[in-house]
Chains A and B, each alone.
Chain A
């Protein structure tokens, strides 16, 4: 694949998408919670930028609206809500290190390679741009998944979940010029409601296990009924 042969705007899109992927790595290994939230906000802003560029390239007008929606939701509202919650739960100085950061990062790299391996035979060689963008989006989704598996802190897990959503949105916008408007609005609404509910759950978790460390959730076992 020869990237320099692509139109300039598509090259710009790929660069932006690559930074989104980079921010996924940052999120994965970020120790301080507040910094992780900032990294997530930047990721959201970049996805919004990608959307705006796609809108400009393809003259797809409803994508301008999606771009504004993404910016408002992913880069401003959700990070702000998370910020407020961490302050309310006194987690501003909370740091949480991964068990073995090097291994997890290597795992993420492996996931990127895996995504390319999965996507390359699927899409014709002449569609260099689409190939790359789908592979990158899939990597972002899978790294979000990895983050949810290895991070044991509830807020960090939510960040992983939301960055998965970013990856999905990236795929929808850049590979397909955005989903129909009804669907996009529905997805945005679901994400927003999910965020509100996550906030409710942070409080419930703190009340019930006195911490947001999800590893302490181990009362329900396969045989059940032990605790009753």
Chain B
């Protein structure tokens, strides 16, 4: 319980304290310190789960009774996401410190908004970690909605008309989406009440999972549609993705890094947890694969549409947010496909996509500062002005496009193999989608990296350590997945599909 409390309370208290810190320089360091402590807690939690297999407990059990408190459950599936979230939180806050100082210096925001920024950053981390660790579907909903609330003010941080528009769209679309997810949660609770005697335990995921076979299939079917549309909005599945490119392009870049690298994962995590319940409930009916088929459909459409949209982008951050939609679509498809191999690949893909995409957004942040604009047409010759940024962008894009020897290649290869085995015709769609996305990325990237730099383009102060760390990790994962990580992912696969891969 102690490491869990450390993971959850550090960002919460940090957010409150950061709301009071007046000096932006101090706040930047403080933000980093809070993130580091959370990461320490997350690693401790990871070690505890590695030893015992599962950490669970209830907060406030004395107050409300044993089943009504805040239940937590950390198993192999969510612990690696917890560690990933805390890790990307640390590296992004390393990047955000000089980045936001620069933004403050050029006068885009004032010191007061810096306070909002830092406070909301930690609050956002808290809501995501809560959503990952809680065992209660209702609390998970509250946390995911809380993540929206914590980030809307960050999207509109620059107060330009575009930023306010993006934030409003984000707020409304995700608000509506998540409201539909709540209706799905209510329906799940309703189904649970017919089976589970204790009303307070009716939203506890572990209890529901143990009784999944008894849940009324007709109710769960409808509930899953609502839950998928609701949480799918946050995953960025087409056609509910409209908010995502706007929010990513108009918010500050550290925010884009954590939104893309972490929030989308958390939403997908919620969908997968719910799919496990629905699969249990529908196992005996005529359509046991319904949830999987829905995920496959949504995933494939998102994957293909986003790949095509990549070609049309003129804003560098919008382009990479479409790339995120594409990859989320691929993971959703893989989780829908089911089976140990596809699930293992999807879990690995979640990991490497987060690392790569946040590294790319960090690099893009520096690139936009060098060029002074986000427009793809005006970013030119990065590799000559500042080789570190140029090379990072090039390597990052090569990694995300699925070039060997990077980790993304590994996971995509596993996914393709799994598809080939169980649904061969889809391999064609996946391969052409990957090719289209690859072309879309590289036709834009090439001139940005190699083109002729405009007169007087100056390098900026950039801290490339986070990017280097992320990309080397991705490279490492591509060359050799360390044994303990493979073991972790395998245990998560066992949890989700009921079968080992390794």
Contact = CB atoms under 8 A, between A and B. Distances in A.
A148 interface: yes
Contact of A208 (B164, B203, B219, B249): B164
Contacts of A7: none
- Where chain A touches its partner, the secondary structure class is helix
B138 A121 contact: no
B64 A220 contact: no
Given A165-B179, A179-B186, A183-B138, A197 B169 contact: no
Given A148-B172, A161-B176, A217-B168, 11 more contacts: A141-B183, A154-B168, A171-B186, A172-B189, A179-B189, A181-B64, A182-B138, A183-B136, A186-B138, A224-B315, A225-B374
B399 interface: no
A228 B160 CA distance: 11
Contacts of B142: 183, 186-187, 189-190
A138 interface: yes
B288 interface: no
Nearest to B312: A223
B249 A172 contact: no
Contact of A207 (B159, B193, B245): B159
Interface stretch (A76-84, A101-109, A198-206): A198-206
A93 interface: no
Contacts of B175: 161, 194
Interface stretch (B37-45, B148-156, B407-415): B148-156
Interface in B187-202: 187, 189-190, 193, 199-200, 202
Nearest to A228: B375
B376 A205 contact: no
Contacts of B222: 118-119, 122
A89 interface: no
Nearest to B193: A176
A175 interface: yes
Nearest to A182: B70
A219 B180 CA distance: 28
Contact of A180 (B138, B162, B314, B318): B138
8 contacts: A176-B190, A200-B153, A217-B168, A218-B165, A219-B161, A220-B169, A225-B376, A228-B375
A176 to B, nearest CB: 5
Contacts of B182: 168, 187
Nearest to B173: A148
B159 A222 contact: no
A167 B219 CA distance: 18
- Give the interface centre of B139, B179, B203, B309 by most chain A CB atoms within 10 Å: B179
A201 B179 contact: no
Contact of B161 (A183, A193, A208): A208
Interface in A119-175: 119, 121-123, 130, 134, 137-138, 141, 144-145, 148, 154, 157, 161, 164-165, 167-168, 171-172, 175
Contact of A197 (B60, B152, B245): B152
Interface string B211-236: 00000001100100000000000000
Contacts of B203: 179-180, 183
In order of increasing CB-CB distance, the 5 nearest A-B pairs are A183-B138, A186-B142, A225-B314, A224-B315, A208-B161
A84 B110 CA distance: 28
B75 interface: no
B200 A180 contact: yes
A165 B176 CA distance: 9
A224 B190 contact: no
Contact of A204 (B68, B164, B309, B318): B164
B373 interface: yes
B270 interface: no
A227 interface: yes
Contacts of B172: 148, 157, 161
A190 B145 contact: yes
Interface string B286-329: 00000000000000000000000100111100100000000000
